[in-house]
Structure 1
Amino acid sequence: MSPITRVVARYEPTLPADDDHRYRTGAWQPTFTEWSVTDCEVVGELPDDLDGVYLRNTENPLHPSIGRYHPFDGDGMVHAVEFGNGTANYRNRFVRTAGFEAELAAGGPLWAGLAEPPSRSIRADGWGARTRMKDASSTDVVVHRGIALTSFYQCGDLYGLDPVTLEQLGPQRWDGFPAEGVSAHPKVDEHTGELLFFNYSTTAPYLHYGVLDPDGTLGHYTPVELPGPRLPHDMAFTEHYAVLNDCPMFWDPDLLARGVHAVRFHPDLPTRIGILPRRGGGDEIRWFEAAPTYVLHWINAYEDGDEIVLDGYFQTNPAPSSPPDASIEDRMFRFLDAAELGTRPYRWRLDLRTGTVTEGFLDDRTVEFGMINPRHLGRRHRHVYAMTNEPGWFLFNGIVATDVETGATQEYRFAPGEFASESPMAPRSGSTAEDDGYVVTFTTDVANDRSECLVFDVRSIADGPLARVRLPERISSGTHTYWMAR
């Protein structure tokens, strides 16, 4: 069948016509059209047993920035491909947050972003651990209780969309919704139906952790005291525990007291990993000390006898230096370059009996944004699907599949000028083996001015994609993704 393509909406950006910002052009050129495409054109053949929806959130600015622009400031846009019966449908929609609506009405930016002090914002209200930020809800996306939830890395609302149609459902609040909001990277336990989440702020106790029950009610919420304001970006969980963190990369306390949000690495402090019973109070947390680093993303955690096994990405150089003549933007964007940060897969084993930590690298490759079979989150895993990084950029140029038990790897590199998204594993319908299924990813092909959704067999990623789903236009690069099986 031929694709049935419909333009749902087109937005008029207020970005400069001669925009040359490195994260608003090229692979990061924003998308301003919302599409619905039925029976997308497919090159190759889609598997009949690939049944579900692949969702990706995207930083996609509609307006220029107040001062310097950081790619994490962009408005949220969700892209989705629905698979079933060997066919694919595509949709994309802006996340119509309160901030998006306000700036749309004003015809320009109202809030300063990550690279500027909050005092530069025109509006005095806003969300975020820094306060007075626009909650762009552009970082992450998960599906809980059949609702796609987008979230923001500096904390804010959870915005709901229908995961198939992308119908806007608005902020998803519950009785007891925290005043601090919810951070990006809440976790869905497919075995229990619970949503585990955290938030952080610049005021004591600085961290909270909670559990949303399968029926959408708040089942647990507790403060977790930290020594001061921190910048946790992710969490993990096991069958019985939540895994939180206190990494020694955080705002300089002296500057923060003067309203300056300058991040500094503190190599004299350990990385602290907190193990808390999933329904435990904050005073029940046990802290384990490990080598100093910053962990942006964890891979997974599970229980192994008396030990918690925790996998994530250890930054060997959390504070990359810059040449003396480097611009402020050059210095800032070095923190987006995995090669500069030296992110490598790492394993911590936390002994609950003795309180000791055994730690070390799993591989010497520079990779990040690892995904596993979602049925194994919180349980023992063996297979990880991670992204290689384009040197000097926040762009993904390849996929590496790793067997963490044997160390065996397979890799697929994209063509020059073609960049991928975080690539979740989609279990084959009816499968039971951990590595039985597919890996899916969106691509932004600057060289050929197009975008596709690629489908790989997880056992033969190096052989290239089984199918390429053609999208109606080239889309912006983006960050986090989710696979919703049906």
Structure 2
Amino acid sequence: MSVDIVGRMLSTLPEDDDHPYRTGPWRPQTNEWSADDLEVVEGEVPTDLDGVYLRNTENPLHPSVKNYHPFDGDGMVHVVGFRDGKTFYRNRFVRTDGLLAESEAGASLWAGISENPALARRDDGWGARGRMKDASSTDVVVHRGTALTSFYQCGDLYRVDPYSADTRGKEDWGGRFPFEWGVSAHPKVDDRTGELLFFNYGKEAPYLHYGVVDENNALVHYVDVPLPGPRLPHDMAFTENYAILNDFPLFWDAAALERGVHVPRFHRDVPSRFAVIPRRGSSEAIRWFEASPTYVLHFTNAYEDGHEIVLDGFFQGDPEPADNGMGDKWQRAFRFLALDRMQSRLHRWRLDLVTGAMKEEQLSDRVTEFGMINGAHLGRNYRYAWAATGKPSWFLFDGLVRHDLLTGAEEHLSFGDGVYGSETAMAPRVGSSGEDDGYLITLTTDMVENASYCLVLDASRITDGPVCKLKLPERISSGTHSTWAAGAELRRWHNAESAAAAIGL
């Protein structure tokens, strides 16, 4: 294995830090690595695995102004690449405007999610809108061969090289990027059409927008989705012909918001609502469907079944838990992070486009979240979802479940005591012939061995354990969202020489 530290960022975090989400599995990193021919500690690297796994996560460098929340940290992208049995690893901070400004100042400049915006030491850029730094630390997708990182409170999309993880500036869609509103995390890429679908939201009417970027990277559609007031949508879904947005009854307390205080409340007497809009449809074409009150952090997929839209996601039985079960001074601070407290379970809604009726059902008794599917089936009928289980009371993934949505069967793999994974991406094998014919890839933070690994699993037999286990240069911080980009697709957009050089061929 060839390993080099190519960068190290200055951190001013205290050495005796006791914050639960800046220590232990969430201990942040400062090193940026380039490593080739990763050490194989178990199994063999599959020769029919071709592409890159990318993971984004929060990685703070400076103490918060007052109260740190794990969603406040700076974005860091990790890349593990595979081709012809060879591997490489890169990790880089996303060079956002906020990171560069705070690196120059040597301190946090913006208030975080658990802080009053008035505490911000700067009030320009995104801070002027009364929220927080755009850390671009939530999600990562790949569109037209470029990785795009995004922030759940809306912001810029940062362009990242999917091989090197280097930041290549901001996306602007030919000057038509909605700079005033930004783009939320979880834009969706339809590989069949080459389109990117997105939404954004804010505290001013109409409160929500929906847009489409075409295969030529042009913003070709952007419309209002009027809501009754400010909401907190986190994800969306799409089918072959429609996009599905939402209005859930977990949103800021109106009276507190008038005082400039952002306190989320679950309004148990208000229904959930889904907005169905043709993918290039007008605001007037939106149809609304009502469902049981809940909050959905993430959807797995949606598809059309006759005159119905089938929508799958993780229904929360208690979107506003009283506590997180940690039993200490952090009792209420992170109650929105524990999957067991929120009781998130895979759920299905059926939206009848002819009658306007809504039917819903729980698909699993098991608490899971952060579901991933074979990307070729996004917006289409599908059978399998792979989702994370959570350590009780914590925002940590301690295992993986394979949901068979046809039979209801489930397979569970535990990562083991003290080992925590990332969102697990599905990578179809080269020449795959079935929906689950491929591999699952995740990164682990192993507190027992004080190390991190990339695990490659057989997507159809997860309980067999790793097909391959690769050691990373150092123990990485626990993290969340990821994606898989197939090598053949990346090589469409990158010249053959640069693509081969990235993998060491």
* Residue matched to 2:237: 236
Shift of 1:126: 3.4
* Residue matched to 1:118: 117
Shift of 1:62: 0.6
**Alignment partner of 1:27 is 2:28:** no
Would the aligned equivalents of 1:128 and 1:154 in 2 still touch at CA under 8 Å? no
In the alignment, the residues of structure 2 paired with residue 440 and residue 401 of structure 1 have an alpha-carbon distance, to the nearest angstrom, of 13
CA RMSD of aligned residues (A): 1.4
1:208-256 CA-to-partner distances (Å, cap 9, x unmatched) read 0000111111010001100000000000000000000000000011111
* Residue matched to 2:287: 286
Would the aligned equivalents of 2:10 and 2:30 in 1 still touch at CA under 8 Å? yes
**Alignment partner of 1:4 is 2:10:** no
* Residue matched to 2:11: 13
Shift of 1:326: 6.8
Correspondence list, 1:330-479, <5 A: 330-479=331-480
Task: Return the letter of the residue paired with 2:209.
Answer: H
Would the aligned equivalents of 1:349 and 1:357 in 2 still touch at CA under 8 Å? yes
Shift of 1:329: 3.5
Shift of 1:11: 1.8
Correspondence list, 1:102-181, <5 A: 102-127=101-126, 131-174=130-173, 175-178=175-178, 179-181=180-182
Taking a change above 3 Å as real, the CA distance of residues 441 and 32 of structure 1, as seen in their structure-2 partners, is: same
Shift of 1:12: 2.3
In the alignment, the residues of structure 2 paired with residue 432 and residue 280 of structure 1 have an alpha-carbon distance, to the nearest angstrom, of 35
Would the aligned equivalents of 2:110 and 2:127 in 1 still touch at CA under 8 Å? no
Taking a change above 3 Å as real, the CA distance of residues 310 and 49 of structure 1, as seen in their structure-2 partners, is: same
In the alignment, the residues of structure 2 paired with residue 130 and residue 262 of structure 1 have an alpha-carbon distance, to the nearest angstrom, of 17
Would the aligned equivalents of 2:326 and 2:393 in 1 still touch at CA under 8 Å? no
In the alignment, the residues of structure 1 paired with residue 94 and residue 325 of structure 2 have an alpha-carbon distance, to the nearest angstrom, of 40
Would the aligned equivalents of 1:127 and 1:155 in 2 still touch at CA under 8 Å? no
In the alignment, the residues of structure 2 paired with residue 370 and residue 332 of structure 1 have an alpha-carbon distance, to the nearest angstrom, of 25
* Residue matched to 2:323: 322
Moved over 4 A (4+): 323-328
In the alignment, the residues of structure 2 paired with residue 394 and residue 451 of structure 1 have an alpha-carbon distance, to the nearest angstrom, of 18
Shift of 1:130: 6.2
Q: Which moved more, 1:225-234 or 1:425-434?
A: 425-434
Shift of 1:117: 1.1
> How many corresponding residue pairs?
484
In the alignment, the residues of structure 1 paired with residue 200 and residue 77 of structure 2 have an alpha-carbon distance, to the nearest angstrom, of 22
TM-score between the two structures when normalised by the length of structure 1: 0.98
Shift of 1:57: 0.1
* Residue matched to 1:59: 58
Task: Return the letter of the residue paired with 1:153.
Answer: Y
The DSSP-based 3-state class of the residue aligned with 1:103 is helix
Task: Return the letter of the residue paired with 1:306.
Answer: H
The DSSP-based 3-state class of the residue aligned with 2:277 is strand
Shift of 1:462: 0.5
* Residue matched to 2:499: none
**Alignment partner of 1:193 is 2:194:** yes
In the alignment, the residues of structure 1 paired with residue 186 and residue 9 of structure 2 have an alpha-carbon distance, to the nearest angstrom, of 29
Shift of 1:332: 2.3
Task: Return the letter of the residue paired with 1:42.
Answer: V
Task: Return the letter of the residue paired with 1:407.
Answer: G
**Alignment partner of 1:274 is 2:254:** no
What 5-or-longer segments of structure 1 have no aligned partner?
none
In the alignment, the residues of structure 1 paired with residue 436 and residue 255 of structure 2 have an alpha-carbon distance, to the nearest angstrom, of 49
In the alignment, the residues of structure 2 paired with residue 233 and residue 180 of structure 1 have an alpha-carbon distance, to the nearest angstrom, of 15
Shift of 1:128: 7.5
In the alignment, the residues of structure 2 paired with residue 264 and residue 336 of structure 1 have an alpha-carbon distance, to the nearest angstrom, of 15
Shift of 1:322: 3.2
Task: Return the letter of the residue paired with 1:7.
Answer: I
Shift of 1:325: 12
